[in-house]
Amino acid sequence: MKILFLCTGNSCRSQMAEGWVRRLKSETIEAYSAGIETHGLNPDAVKVMAEAGVDISGHRSKHVDELKEIEFDYVITVCDHAAEHCPIFPGEAKVLHFGFDDPPRLAKEANSPEEALDCYRRVRDEIKALVEKMPEILKNR
């Protein structure tokens, strides 16, 4: 099964989702991530994923057009902006939305660097919980 995780800039949430799938579900799911824009890989996302034992430091921010030749089974938007602006995909890809808070936006309200990282950790763990239920949860949507 091929899944594309799509968010606005492919810097944080979609990268985390790709990393979790590669770590937890690589035997059943081939994961990709991209954005409707590219914002670069978020260093705090890399940091909190490493804390959880998942290395995404080699990932790079990709535009969705770079993956247009791949026939996905599912395209999962992980932020509202991407869901609203999701491009049309050829083939039989089923588009689903699982929205997660934006860690960089949440971190702006933090009172310390550690509190800012906690925003990333919470979203990281929420994405992991979703991935742990795959592919079963996809078949029920």
**Active centre residues (catalytic):** 7, 79, 86
- Sheet with 2-7, strands from edge to edge, namely 30-35, 2-7, 74-77, 94-97
Name the nearest CA neighbour of 48 among 5, 10, 12, 98. 12
Helix/strand/coil percentages in the chain, nearest 5: 40, 15, 45
Pairing status of strand 94-97 against strand 2-7? unpaired
